[in-house]
């Protein structure tokens, strides 16, 4: 209201609560129609934007990054790796003699850092007691709405190579 | 409204208090009179004065109302307080230079003369003006009042505050406006 006001000596509160009933302003039919038209135009434009985004969607290109060497961590061990973005660490777990998994460390609920709970063999978010499966990152319990994004690993001559992220969204 | 104006002439008041009773009978505020009735100087004189709200062009009572409860309508009437809004804070009572608004404790609301808005807005005369036998309270057309010896005045000075009103006061023929030295009239004065 204050931004759309013409310069005036009358204080805003007096303009909104006038002494004279003749000075009272009500929303007119035309104002309401304007509001409705502009709002529906805004929603139309927003839908166009969403549509354009889905049409112009491009599959992201992931780099191949060496994140660890085989045998670097023991069975049940954890290594924090960074893939793609240095500030967005991922959690790599050696779940068996020959199996490794890696997930984004950012909880899908409110972005707390999750950690591997070895005794229960699951990933836990300590903020709101969210639990993720170690097998595929799916939500076991708690408020997180989506599974953890998964880092797909590949074995390459004694090295573990991250090749892409799955479920990270667009 | 409908070509008629309200004229108050305290010199004609005979103190019969018919206006008070007529006001009490109004349906919109049954039992509560909104006439301000004064004995001018009871010790020395039998003079009385009955008057109604003056319906100022820029109503001080409404200007000071913190609850936005007093409104001046488009035909010049300053309404009584709006019941859902009035918080009975007495700001208007203290601010009105004429001393018109009154707090009615049992309703926790300020009530004042609204010139019988239910009647005058449809062309009828206010209750008090219909019963006043000496027409100290008169609601007539200006040409009718012009026949009187006194002159209608609607400009008042209270110290430095100039007030113009919808209701006229009948003043001596040579008067242009009515000026009141507020300090001089304060009753605490020792003289």
Q: In chain A, what is the greatest distance between 2 CA atoms, to the nearest angstrom? A: 86
Q: Which domains does chain B have, with CATH numbers?
A: 5-185 (3.30.70.20)
Q: Which residues contact A26 (CB under 8 A, 6 or more apart)?
A: none
**Chain B residues close to A20, C-beta within 8 Å:** 71-72, 74
Given CB atoms, is A55 within the 8 Å cutoff of chain B? Answer: no
| pLDDT classification of B179: cutoffs 50, 70, 90 | confident
Give the model confidence (pLDDT) of B119-178 as tens digits.
Answer: 999 999 999 999 999 999 999 999 999 999 999 999 999 888 899 999 999 999 888 888
**Chain A residues close to B63, C-beta within 8 Å:** 19
Q: Does the beta-carbon distance from B63 to A19 stay under 8 Å?
A: yes
**Chain A residues close to B55, C-beta within 8 Å:** none
Given CB atoms, is A13 within the 8 Å cutoff of chain B? Answer: no
Given CB atoms, is A170 within the 8 Å cutoff of chain B? Answer: no
- What are the residue boundaries of the structural domains of chain A, listed by start? 12-55, 65-166
Exposure class string for A125-155: b at 16+ Cβ within 10 A, else e: beeeebbbbbeebebeeeebeebbbbbebee
- Classify domain A65-166 by CATH architecture: 3-layer Sandwich (2.102)
**Whole-complex ipTM:** 0.81
Share of chain B above pLDDT 90, in %: 80
What mean pLDDT do residues A40-63 have? 92
Q: Which residues contact A43 (CB under 8 A, 6 or more apart)?
A: none
Q: Does the beta-carbon distance from B72 to A20 stay under 8 Å?
A: yes
Query: What number of C-beta contacts closer than 8 Å exist between A and B?
Result: 16
């Amino acid at each position: 209201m204050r931004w759309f006001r013409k310069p005036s000596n009358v204080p805003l509160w007096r303009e909104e609560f006038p002494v004279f009933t003749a000075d009272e302003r009500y929303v007119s039919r035309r104002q309401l129609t304007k509001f409705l038209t502009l709002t529906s135009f805004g929603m139309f434009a927003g839908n166009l934007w969403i549509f354009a985004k889905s049409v112009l969607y491009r599959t992201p290109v992931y780099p191949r990054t060496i994140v660890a060497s085989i045998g670097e961590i023991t069975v049940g061990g954890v290594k924090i790796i960074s893939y793609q973005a240095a500030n967005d660490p991922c959690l790599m777990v050696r779940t068996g003699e020959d199996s490794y998994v890696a997930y984004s460390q950012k909880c899908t609920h409110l972005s707390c850092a999750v950690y591997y709970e070895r005794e229960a063999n699951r990933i836990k978010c300590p903020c709101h007691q969210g639990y993720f499966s170690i097998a595929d990152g799916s939500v076991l319990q708690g408020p997180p709405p989506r599974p953890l994004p998964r880092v797909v690993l590949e074995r390459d001559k004694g090295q573990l190579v991250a090749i892409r992220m799955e479920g990270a969204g667009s | 409204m409908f070509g008629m104006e309200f004229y108050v002439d305290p010199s004609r008041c005979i103190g019969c208090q018919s206006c008070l009773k007529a006001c009490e009978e109004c349906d919109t505020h049954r039992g509560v009179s909104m006439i301000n009735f004064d004995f001018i100087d009871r010790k020395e004189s039998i003079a009385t004065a009955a008057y109604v709200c003056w319906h100022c062009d820029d109503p001080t009572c409404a200007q000071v109302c913190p609850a936005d409860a007093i409104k001046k309508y488009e035909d010049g009437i300053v309404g009584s307080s709006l019941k859902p809004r009035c918080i009975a804070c007495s700001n208007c009572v203290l601010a009105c230079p004429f001393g018109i608004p009154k707090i009615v404790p049992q309703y926790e609301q300020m009530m004042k003369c609204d010139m019988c808005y239910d009647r005058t807005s449809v062309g009828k005369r206010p209750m008090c003006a219909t019963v006043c036998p000496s027409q100290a309270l008169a609601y007539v057309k200006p040409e009718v009042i012009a026949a009187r010896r006194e002159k209608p005045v609607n400009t008042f000075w209270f110290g430095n505050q100039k007030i113009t009103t919808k209701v006229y006061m009948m003043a001596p023929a040579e008067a242009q406006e009515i000026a009141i030295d507020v300090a001089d009239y304060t009753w605490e004065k020792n003289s």
